Structure 1
Amino acid sequence: MSYTVNCSILLTELPLWERPAAAKAAGFDNVEFWWPFAESVPADRDVAAFERAITDAGVQLTGLNFNAGDMPAGDRGLVSWKGRCSEFKDNIDVVAGIGERLGCKAFNALYGNRQDGCTPEEQDELAVKNLAAAAEGVARIGGTVLLEPVSGAPAYPLLTAADALAVIDRVRAASGARNIKLLADFYHLAVNGDDVEAVIENHAKDFGHIQIADNPGRGAPGSGQLPLDEWITRSRELGYEGCIGLEYKAPQAEAFAWAVRERSDAR
């Protein structure tokens, strides 16, 4: 199984730039990150430090978020956020540059919370324009924009696969962009009450990426009750060929115990 470690939510006991090497030491060759900077256009030296952390660790960056705002404070993306459009647009070139230098092709664009003082229609119209711009910006490096439903954020409007797919259809109709796909996070979909099995049956071959965590607790695979192995296997059977993103919460000491067991069982 080809896994990729989300170094923004895992290995948090370590400084951010040390986490790719820790993922490698734990036996993984791939990593992904949320946007690892405080601003949309970070200093060149900070970008270089991030890139060195990846290359020095000998891992492949498989996924990177666009700037999503202040995530700890509750922000969930700039795509539909009126008043911060220039920040998102400026971020596109930086993201594409990192992707080009590190060979990363998948870029997650969090949609953004609903705002007081703006109608949903106004935000959705802006989101279509911004997603089209993002798709155009990463197309030059063969990149794909990902859009995901999210749980645990009451003001975030994309809760189900159908919600995200409707936006993707709007972007494609408005711009002709084909390089925008669903990020199927099985944890978020399950917590939001979506029919994960049906989503897989209908859309697995077109998934842009899969991420996993168990429920309850957003813990490691096997810590809860979700049939993650079954869902992954079925997605593979139906044509999904990408990595499986490990985006769960667990202390470093026990974060990958399930993977060690899985490797042992495979021998």
Structure 2
Amino acid sequence: MTAASKHTRLNGRFTVNLSILFSELPLLERPAAAAAAGFTAAELWWPFGENPTPSQAELDELRKAFTDAGVQLTGLNFLDDLTKGARGTVSVPAEKDRFRENIAVTAGLAESLGTKALNALYGNRVDGVDPAEQDALALENLVLAAKAAHEIGAVLLIEALNKPESPDYPLVTAAAAVEVVDKVNAATGLGNAKFLCDLYHLAMNGEDLAAVIDTHADKFGHVQIADNPGRNEPGTGGLDFEDLFTRLTAAGYQGRIGLEYRPAKGVSADSFEWLPREHRAAN
């Protein structure tokens, strides 16, 4: 499949997620590996595990890995604790202090690397906690995150995940995520909260991807892709990326497209045949 080669307007728009791709390598080696594969832009989930406030030395090492490789960090998650299956910390009462401690750290790292998109995963529902209480806390935290993002000229991303893989995550439709986006923007007046449209997650939920693009493209702050089923590279599943890319362009989406998939054969460098090398370097 060479969908990208048929749509030259996508040239320079791709960013590779180094938390899922090149994960066969230590984190600090991944930016150089991405560069060797032809990419000049990358994104990360929160790279320090459960630690919301890594040391200055750890932050400096990560910055150096990106700057030495000549790779721009285009997107970064706030504290997400994905290793525990938590799917974010924004709405979780027990994580309130840790999330808020992390806001300045994430924004500071992003600012130092020119990162303009910060993703705040909503967090799972917690047994014994009123969902309304969680939603109120989430709004408070997202307002703080949006303001911190605004101070560095960045957008705050709100993402829908898929129900089969994240059964306790409440935002499992595009409409649910966009509703949160609108609430944050109404609360801050900044307009910098945006929808992270992950086409894989929405496909897993059975959503009509064409309808999502046509309805919500004006709220998109970022798009991520993986084929479905399998969460592997385009061409390994049933999604029509040629059509999806065409629709994104027609809808006026001009942002980046994050490659957030697992390599089907287990080797990241071998998973980019669908994307001609001349399309990998970011503008």
TM-score (norm 2): 0.90
Q: Distance in 2 between matches of 1:183 and 1:3?
A: 15
Secondary structure (helix, strand or coil) at the match of 1:83 reads: helix
Is the contact made by 1:206 and 1:240 (CA closer than 8 Å) also made in structure 2? no
Name 2:197's counterpart in structure 1.
Answer: 184
Q: Distance in 1 between matches of 2:56 and 2:154?
A: 22
Query: Among 1, 6, 16, which residue is 2:27 paired with?
Result: 16
Secondary structure (helix, strand or coil) at the match of 2:89 reads: coil
Name 2:65's counterpart in structure 1.
Answer: 53
Secondary structure (helix, strand or coil) at the match of 1:42 reads: coil
Q: What is the percentage of aligned positions where both structures have the same residue?
A: 53
5 Å matches for 1:1-267?
1=11, 2-38=13-49, 39-69=51-81, 71-151=82-162, 152-250=165-263, 251=266, 252-260=268-276
Is the contact made by 1:149 and 1:188 (CA closer than 8 Å) also made in structure 2? yes
Q: Deviation per CA, 1:5-42, whole angstroms, max 9, x where unpaired?
A: 00000011111110111111101110000000021111
Q: Deviation per CA, 1:140-173, whole angstroms, max 9, x where unpaired?
A: 1111100010111110010011010111122222
Gaps (5+ residues) in structure 2?
Answer: 1-10
Gaps (5+ residues) in structure 1?
Answer: none
Shift of 1:262: 8.2
- Higher RCO, 1 or 2 (CA under 8 Å, sep at least 6)? 2
Secondary structure (helix, strand or coil) at the match of 2:187 reads: helix
Is the contact made by 1:205 and 1:235 (CA closer than 8 Å) also made in structure 2? no
- The verdict on how the C-alpha distance between 1:12 and 1:183 changes in structure 2, with shifts beyond 3 A counting, is same
Amino acid at match of 2:64: R
Name 2:3's counterpart in structure 1.
Answer: none
Secondary structure (helix, strand or coil) at the match of 2:144 reads: helix
Q: Distance in 1 between matches of 2:121 and 2:250?
A: 28
Is the contact made by 2:38 and 2:277 (CA closer than 8 Å) also made in structure 1? no
- The verdict on how the C-alpha distance between 1:58 and 1:253 changes in structure 2, with shifts beyond 3 A counting, is closer
Q: Deviation per CA, 1:52-77, whole angstroms, max 9, x where unpaired?
A: 111000011110000102x1321100
Q: Comparing 19-28 with 201-210, which one deviates more in the overlay?
A: 201-210
Q: Distance in 2 between matches of 1:168 and 1:51?
A: 30
